[in-house]
Amino acid sequence: MKFTSGPSVSVVMATYNGKTYLSQQLQSVFSELLPDDELVIVDDGSLDGTLEFLDSLVSPSVRIFRNTTNAGVLATFERGLLLSRNEIVFLCDQDDVWLPGKRAAFVAAFERDPRTLVVVSDAQLIDASGKVTESSFMDTRGGFHGGILSTLVRNRYLGCAMALRRELLFSALPIPSGVPMHDMWLGVLGSLLGRVHYISTPLLQYRRHRGNVSPAHRQGLLRMLRWRSALFVAIAGRLCKLAFGRLKATVTQGSTRRP
């Protein structure tokens, strides 16, 4: 029997040498998924037994893909997004822990406002052992501010605490080269093309440890300026491309209607 209560979700996870925390994370995700949901996992060339562990999973909701070469986090998430199939798409890291009610709270936010393209929640910070070190990630960033100017100053888009409406992917993919991180790109573009909804309740435990891909500390000023410049140029370029595409479609549609 098909489950039809609300939109189905896709969870897109990128893995790379993440066996240490993967079992706990998958348990927390599986506890939230419903029968029509899917978990899309793209592995980026793990060598620590992660692939063997994934191959042992027995679940009709799991789809596992392997990169033939190490492509990096942006390309791996982009591939996962392209492979996803459902209306609501969650981004998911390999080493965090979902908290109970995450799926329901995010889906409810999307259902309340069809113009919402991105939902972001707060998160607890935990260390390698799972001990809570900060009760609010967003408090460490001065609160959530999702506009482009705020993001250029300091990014608050935490990918593992985000979900997207599929509609956004048609405009956001492919992710331009030079963009510092996929979450910044998707969040800012969503704020410009629609609405971003913030959930102040922590719905994730965000694990910080030595193997994290994203930096735990602020980067040097020169690198920060390069990253922000690349993000701004990419956003401007994509908006111009989208506007030109809409104008071209309008002109084409108008010409076909002429007698």
Assigned domain for 1 exists: no
Alpha-carbon span 157 to 153, nearest angstrom: 12
Q: What is the pTM of this model?
A: 0.90
DSSP summary character for residue 140: G
Over residues 232-259, mean pLDDT = 84
pLDDT digits over 195-239, tens only? 999 999 999 999 998 765 555 555 677 888 888 899 999 999 999
Nearest C-alpha neighbor of 196 from the set 163, 166, 171: 163
Assigned domain for 148 exists: yes
Nearest C-alpha neighbor of 138 from the set 147, 129, 125: 125
What tokens does 244 get?
């030109």
Question: Measured between alpha carbons, how far is residue 154 from residues 195, 197, 237 in Å?
Answer: 19, 18, 21
- Count of domains forming the chain: 1
* Partners of 40 in the β-ladder: 12, 63
For 18, the domain range is 9-212+221-257
Residue 83 exposure: Cα atoms within 13 Å on the Cβ side: 22
pLDDT digits over 123-147, tens only? 999 999 999 999 999 999 999 999 9
Question: Measured between alpha carbons, how far is residue 213 from residues 95, 141, 206, 209 in Å?
Answer: 11, 19, 13, 10
Assigned domain for 135 exists: yes
Assigned domain for 199 exists: yes
Burial of 160 (0-12, 13-18, 19+ CB in 10 A): buried
Return the pLDDT at 223: 83
Assigned domain for 2 exists: no
Assigned domain for 3 exists: no
Q: What is the CATH number of the domain that holds 178?
A: 3.90.550.10
What tokens does 137 get?
């990630």
Assigned domain for 94 exists: yes
